[in-house]
């Protein structure tokens, strides 16, 4: 196949480039990244609300549990009656330890329990009750608050000003050269004949030999360049108004429960 006689089809080659697939792939990558950001923000919002979702598997089945994600911040006074209720209903071992730990001292050792002069073990394992001799009305315990109650809010991010640019460059070039050299050599041979009874007749024959040296060369080059640019900006956006309203409602309910 003589490449020098081929007609370049640059236009068709540009049409053959899968521009649509390249742009779609970039756009889907942004969409997946946005979904991952939103999922992470939702998980952060759950954690800041005071409960973190804990997923696990039991006997081949998935189950969902919740973990207290509130933090200790400051202290508060609660009545001893509310302290008993809190101890007997909470699953927070750290908070239980702040309300009551039994006295394990022996002999003349000093007491090492916490509020063991106010509470004692109840009739049911894991519960407490007030001692009959108790004269204390209130105790101070660490206060657990959610991040939302402390004024924090989850941050949401969004891709904005996204620009997708795909550039394709195809270069076609060709060049050819040829050369022909000819060496010509001639040899002549003559034959003659004469007769006595008539005028002599002479015949000459010439043989020519030609040597041809032909040189031919061709060059062909093709280059294609492709580049793609994906430029976007990631900025934080304020929480939705509905979420902020819901947070305020939950904080009011929490305050009412604490005061009742």
Write out pLDDT tens, residues 161-217: 877 776 666 666 655 555 555 555 555 444 444 444 455 555 555 555 555 555 555
Separation between Cα atoms, residue 106 and residue 16, nearest integer Å: 88
Q: Which contacts qualify for 82-86: CB closer than 8 Å, 24 or more apart?
A: 83/119, 83/139, 83/141, 84/119, 84/128, 84/129, 84/130
pLDDT, tens digit, for every residue of 42-75?
A: 888 888 888 888 888 878 888 888 888 888 888 8
pLDDT, tens digit, for every residue of 234-244?
A: 888 877 777 77
| Domain residue limits, the chain | 148-193+203-260
Q: What distances in angstroms separate CA 256 from CA 43, 87, 214, 241, one per listed residue?
A: 26, 20, 105, 23
- Per-residue pLDDT at 79: 92
Enter the tokens of residue 127: 């519960």
- Average predicted confidence (pLDDT) for the chain: 75
Enter the tokens of residue 181: 């050299």
pTM confidence score: 0.54
In this prediction, what percent of the chain has a pLDDT beyond 70?
A: 67
Enter the tokens of residue 60: 């081949």
Q: What is the DSSP letter of 124?
A: S
- Mapped onto helix, strand or coil, the DSSP state of residue 217 is strand
Q: Is the pLDDT of residue 158 over 50?
A: yes
Q: What distances in angstroms separate CA 225 from CA 8, 125, 167, 173, one per listed residue?
A: 16, 76, 8, 14
State which H helix or E strand residue 140 sits in. Answer: strand 138-145
- Per-residue pLDDT at 82: 92
pLDDT, tens digit, for every residue of 76-110?
A: 888 999 999 999 998 888 889 889 998 888 877 78
What is the distance, to the nearest Å, from the Cα of residue 249 to the centroid of all Cα atoms in its chain?
34
Where does the pLDDT of residue 3 fall: very low under 50, low under 70, confident under 90, or very high at 90 and above?
very low
């Amino acid at each position: 196949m003589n490449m020098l006689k081929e007609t370049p089809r640059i236009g068709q080659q540009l049409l053959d480039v899968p521009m649509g697939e390249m742009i779609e792939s970039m756009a889907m990558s942004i969409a997946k990244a946005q979904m991952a950001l939103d999922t992470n923000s939702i998980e952060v919002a759950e954690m800041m609300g005071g409960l973190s979702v804990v997923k696990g598997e039991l006997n081949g089945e998935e189950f969902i549990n919740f973990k207290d994600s509130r933090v200790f911040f400051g202290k508060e006074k609660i009545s001893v009656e509310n302290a008993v209720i809190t101890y007997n209903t909470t699953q927070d071992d750290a908070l239980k330890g702040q309300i009551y730990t039994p006295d394990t001292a022996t002999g003349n050792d000093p007491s090492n329990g916490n509020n063991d002069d106010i509470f004692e073990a109840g009739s049911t394992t894991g519960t407490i009750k007030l001692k009959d001799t108790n004269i204390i009305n209130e105790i101070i315990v660490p206060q657990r608050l959610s991040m939302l109650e402390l004024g924090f809010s989850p941050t949401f991010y969004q891709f904005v000003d996204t620009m997708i640019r795909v550039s394709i460059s195809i270069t076609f070039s060709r060049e050819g050269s040829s050369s022909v050299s000819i060496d010509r050599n001639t040899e002549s041979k003559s034959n003659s004949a004469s007769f006595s009874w008539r005028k002599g007749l002479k015949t000459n024959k010439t043989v020519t030999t030609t040597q041809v040296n032909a040189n031919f060369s061709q060059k062909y080059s093709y280059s294609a360049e492709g580049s793609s640019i994906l430029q976007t900006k990631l900025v934080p956006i304020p929480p939705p108004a509905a979420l902020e309203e819901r947070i305020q409602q939950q904080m009011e309910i929490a305050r009412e429960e604490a005061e009742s």
